[in-house]
Structure 1
Amino acid sequence: MTVRVGVDFGTAFTKVAIRAGADLVPVEWSEVTGDDSETGRYIVPGFVVRSPDGEYCWQRIKGSDIQGNLKLSVIEKAESDECPISTVAYLALVIRYARAFLYRNTEVGRKLAGRSLRWELNIGCPTEPHEKPEVVDMFRRIARTAWRLATRINLQESDIKAAWVADESDTGLETEPGAVPEFVAHIAGYLTSPQVKEGLHALIDIGAATLDVATFNVVLQNEQISPPRIPIFFSAVRPLGTHYLHYNRHSKLDLELSWNDAAPIESAGEFGERNGKASEDVIAVDGEFAEQIERCVTGVINGTRINSRGDPRSRAWREGLPTFITGGGSSCDLYRQATVAVEAELKLRVEKRSGSSRHFRFIELSPTFGSARRIDTGGRLTVALGLTEDAENIARVVPHRDIGPITYGTKASVDHSDLYGD
């Protein structure tokens, strides 16, 4: 049986889903975190604990060191050969727990007994860093090292360093770990659904730590015998996720810097009432934050519209740009309002330039289909679910650097007499 583990390695939280044959299992982390709420049980915070003797675990003990920022630090140091010890240890713990969770699953566990399992592993990578080969190589090396170490009872710093240096090719995995752009994992279900259409698309992913925006084409191949091609036009990753919305509110309004990143975002009125602040003050603070979101989204989409390395002649500028709005913060009013503001601004620019009276509009598409629909987690598991698909069959990504200016053919005019004679 093929068993594919999809790890959505987030900046603030990690989510995991496993596809075992025909079964799709979202991993629950309540036994690790103690959070069994509907939104919290599918996420595990992105930090690891280092004990005084150099062992890595999740249990907080006296004298231990809690280490976070495990993802962004790796991206920043991708060109270095230095071992990202904390990140490897964290992912080894995640993988070890996820595999055990699968075996303990009441319905799926009994199907695994006596069967030979062919393990595969996919890990998500942010769109913008994915353009850099050294980042992809780093993510794959971390994934395969963590997979090997996940069999260890104890994760000692010395053992992690040794495994990193050895970098053995025999990991027990069926194939090399896949480092899949997160936006591709987001739309994996869409690409195989009847709803899929060719042409320009956009994705706005609102995570706990980052806001990821990307524009890309969907090019269907040979009656879907081959996977779709996904040329990436422009992308951006900014620290504008819900964690920083919380931080902005608390710091600007002189409140204690303490909140629960897993909880739903309150409206300005609710936040002000709970913290004894006027809703007008909260709205003003939120307005400054929303402007940063708008600039990020506008920069990516407008660059695609006017830059020759984008798709300025796409019919999407006339008929509407299909846009995915996903992530744990996608239901937050502030991000929704910022998206509407971007839509209004771009609508004016499109009409001013083309003279068209048609409205520019976002079309929100459902990013999950099939079995994923039965798992309601508010968009938090979309990437993890997409990563349980075969990485080679999701889509063939074409990086921005490999895309030349798009050209469109012109219709040749045919003389009336050529068609009908004299």
Structure 2
Amino acid sequence: MADLKSELKKIRAQRIDTRSAPPRAAREQRPTESRRDRGETAVLRTLQPAPATDESAKGVCGPRRDSGIGAAVSMQKVARLASPVPTVFKPLTKSGLLRQKLYRDPADWVACGVNTQMESASVLRHVDIVIGLDFGTSYTKAAVGFMDKIYPVTWEGVSLAVPSFLLASEYTVGPLGDAMFGQHPACRLDEFATDLKLPFLQPGASAPSIARAAVFLGMVLGYIRAWVFRYHSKKLSGATIRWQLNLGAPCNGMESERIVKAYERLADMAWVLSMHPDGRKFITAESHASASLPGPPCADLIARTICPEFVAQMAGYMASPQRVRGLHALIDVGGGTVDIVTFNVHAIEDEDTFPFLVPEVRPLGTHALSHNRLTDIEEPATAADYDELDPVPEAEEFAARAGIGIGHVRERDALFSQSVSKSVRSVFATTKARRYRLSDAWAGGVRTFFTGGGSSVGLYQDAIARAHLPGTGGLLIRPLPLHPRLDGLPLDSGQYQRVSVACGLAQDSFTLARIIAANEVEDDTPVMYQTADRPDRDDIYG
């Protein structure tokens, strides 16, 4: 028995020694040595604290501001106490309709959009018009391109919202099954269709989800045609219009055939519904969704293309004098996701070419930010009174409007900011480690376009500034330049960031850059040269 007791004491002592943490210096030194021994210093350097470069703190972000995230609570403490940032993006609980005051009955001229041609169309003259359609989680934007100009579409015919180039991605289904843009003043919560884009953020959007979204985009396409007839009929002079449709997809969409197929089916179904006399009825959309094909092809739609949104956003830059070749990056903060992609700008036989290096889409957009702030609160119904389509407020204003504690919001923001930083850091670390190891940009700075509706939110600006990246040059943050063919609507740089996708899509798909998907681009691995054995002296002179 004495021997058994002594053995138990030894085991307990060993457990205590095993659980005791090594000194801090040892904890920091051990992974450093092991990673360097394995030749992973490029990845390791992203984890080392380093001051932000001047360029990374300037540009569209402006001087980096302390949003109170770091001072409010320790990252490690938040990670232990709070629930993690939600990875599955769900619709926010809605306790009421908050945008009914923005509703308006469609103007009389909108009805003619069911047609694809003007009454005076002549077969002797043709004009190609390209519709660029950016179907967003929060807002949908559109532009039309023809006669070497690009015109952003304004929605004053169906909405009172300001600015007029943004249309909320939502609609009301009336008692007779007819869909109407926006939130009708007499509608109930169960007659309201929103969160239309969410099913498309993951592969495998269901047929009912495609049908719900197709009703909305069908109305959008009909309105765009009516808008062209109303405001540009003199330019067209009775010509027959050959329509083209370019629909934007996430930057990683080309990597998944299921995502591409879902967007193709959505675009085809929406075009058919836009010309159908009962196209605004959901039952009509359901019948098309259940069919093997969305409908017969339309002779007036000569081309339909699904295009990565970031390629469209870069169209203005590629046509500007600011263009340079080499490693670039784009960070697009949208309503549902943050799209991060590194890519190379170069030309093959005088054709602009974009090889994707590391595309990543994370559910960390502005809707996700609001959802994260409302995680772990005791009274979700009170917080749900916040309108998620409003510009995202800073932590103090959000807490006051949502009726929750500022401490809770700051803790959730700290965790969310850490997730954004980690995603940014991961993309650049992978790019440096095995996709474009020897780019001059790692020393001189990676040209990074920071755009999207959420790019003005301080949390995202701070998160990017805090993401420790490989190399010494940091990020050269800048906004997207205005497209040189932009016309019809005076936009400043900040407004253009909201419509850059639509404007880039509003040009012939053949004029957009050639895309090489990331899974078709080989890794950048070191070339190993074999040194020939040196001959022995006796072999030479013997």
- State the Cα deviation string for residues 361-399 of structure 1 (Å, max 9, x = none): 334253433143842325110101111021122111111
The DSSP-based 3-state class of the residue aligned with 2:358 is: strand
User: How far apart in 1 are the matches of 2:187 and 2:506?
Assistant: 38
Corresponding letter in the other structure for 2:465: V
Higher-Rg structure is 2
The DSSP-based 3-state class of the residue aligned with 1:392 is: coil
The DSSP-based 3-state class of the residue aligned with 2:373 is: helix
- State the Cα deviation string for residues 82-135 of structure 1 (Å, max 9, x = none): 772111111101111111122222xx2322341111111100000123211232
CA distance 1:217–1:369, change in 2 (3 Å): same
> Are the equivalent residues in 2 in contact too, given 1:88–1:145 (CA < 8 A)?
yes
1:9 and 2:135 correspond: yes
Match of 2:228 in 1: 102
Match of 1:235 in 2: 359
User: How far apart in 2 are the matches of 1:260 and 1:100?
Assistant: 30
1:294 and 2:410 correspond: no
User: How far apart in 2 are the matches of 1:22 and 1:401?
Assistant: 34
Corresponding letter in the other structure for 1:328: G
Deviation, 1:189, is 0.9
Match of 1:117 in 2: 241
Of stretches 361-370 and 193-202 in structure 1, the one that deviates more from structure 2 is 361-370
Corresponding letter in the other structure for 2:511: N
Match of 2:437 in 1: 312
Match of 1:396 in 2: 514
Match of 1:184 in 2: 311
Deviation, 1:15, is 0.7
User: How far apart in 2 are the matches of 1:246 and 1:75?
Assistant: 17
Match of 2:10 in 1: none
TM-score normalised by L of structure 2: 0.65
Corresponding letter in the other structure for 1:384: A
1:360 and 2:486 correspond: no
Deviation, 1:250, is 4.7
CA distance 1:211–1:79, change in 2 (3 Å): closer
1:217 and 2:344 correspond: yes
CA distance 1:118–1:401, change in 2 (3 Å): same
User: How far apart in 2 are the matches of 1:409 and 1:169?
Assistant: 53
User: How far apart in 2 are the matches of 1:272 and 1:157?
Assistant: 38
CA distance 1:126–1:364, change in 2 (3 Å): same
- State the Cα deviation string for residues 154-177 of structure 1 (Å, max 9, x = none): 223443344452444522344331
Deviation, 1:282, is 4.5
Of stretches 292-301 and 400-409 in structure 1, the one that deviates more from structure 2 is 400-409
Match of 1:260 in 2: 387
The DSSP-based 3-state class of the residue aligned with 2:303 is: coil
User: How far apart in 2 are the matches of 1:259 and 1:287?
Assistant: 20
- State the Cα deviation string for residues 220-272 of structure 1 (Å, max 9, x = none): 233x3x2x111111122222112222333355676622333443333345545
> Are the equivalent residues in 1 in contact too, given 2:210–2:262 (CA < 8 A)?
no
Aligned-residue RMSD, C-alpha:
2.9
Match of 1:145 in 2: 269
Deviation, 1:322, is 0.8
Of stretches 372-381 and 276-285 in structure 1, the one that deviates more from structure 2 is 276-285
User: How far apart in 2 are the matches of 1:400 and 1:406?
Assistant: 12
> Are the equivalent residues in 2 in contact too, given 1:6–1:385 (CA < 8 A)?
yes
User: How far apart in 1 are the matches of 2:413 and 2:209?
Assistant: 39
CA distance 1:250–1:121, change in 2 (3 Å): same
Deviation, 1:11, is 1.8
> Are the equivalent residues in 1 in contact too, given 2:312–2:502 (CA < 8 A)?
yes
Deviation, 1:280, is 6.2
Of stretches 270-279 and 112-121 in structure 1, the one that deviates more from structure 2 is 270-279
- State the Cα deviation string for residues 19-42 of structure 1 (Å, max 9, x = none): 23234322222443321x23xx22
User: How far apart in 2 are the matches of 1:23 and 1:400?
Assistant: 32
Match of 2:491 in 1: 375
User: How far apart in 2 are the matches of 1:271 and 1:48?
Assistant: 26
Higher RCO (CA < 8 A, seq sep 6+): 2
> Are the equivalent residues in 2 in contact too, given 1:213–1:300 (CA < 8 A)?
yes
> Are the equivalent residues in 2 in contact too, given 1:252–1:285 (CA < 8 A)?
no
CA distance 1:275–1:402, change in 2 (3 Å): closer
Corresponding residue to 2:211 among 49, 66, 85: 85
The DSSP-based 3-state class of the residue aligned with 2:275 is: coil
Deviation, 1:3, is 0.9
Corresponding letter in the other structure for 1:19: G
User: How far apart in 2 are the matches of 1:82 and 1:252?
Assistant: 31
Corresponding residue to 1:26 among 152, 158, 164: 152
Corresponding letter in the other structure for 1:316: A
> Are the equivalent residues in 1 in contact too, given 2:251–2:341 (CA < 8 A)?
yes
For structure 2, which runs of at least 5 residues remain unmatched after alignment? 1-126, 529-542
User: How far apart in 1 are the matches of 2:305 and 2:439?
Assistant: 31
Deviation, 1:405, is 2.0
> Are the equivalent residues in 2 in contact too, given 1:187–1:368 (CA < 8 A)?
no
Corresponding letter in the other structure for 1:324: F
User: How far apart in 2 are the matches of 1:294 and 1:102?
Assistant: 43
User: How far apart in 2 are the matches of 1:252 and 1:78?
Assistant: 30
* Matched pairs, number: 390
1:129 and 2:253 correspond: yes
> Are the equivalent residues in 2 in contact too, given 1:125–1:139 (CA < 8 A)?
yes
Match of 1:324 in 2: 449
Deviation, 1:77, is 5.3
> Are the equivalent residues in 2 in contact too, given 1:102–1:109 (CA < 8 A)?
yes
1:47 and 2:166 correspond: no
> Are the equivalent residues in 1 in contact too, given 2:332–2:455 (CA < 8 A)?
yes
User: How far apart in 2 are the matches of 1:231 and 1:248?
Assistant: 34
Corresponding residue to 1:337 among 453, 456, 462: 462
For structure 1, which runs of at least 5 residues remain unmatched after alignment? 351-357, 411-422
> Are the equivalent residues in 2 in contact too, given 1:328–1:378 (CA < 8 A)?
no
Of stretches 92-101 and 77-86 in structure 1, the one that deviates more from structure 2 is 77-86
User: How far apart in 1 are the matches of 2:355 and 2:147?
Assistant: 30
The DSSP-based 3-state class of the residue aligned with 1:100 is: helix
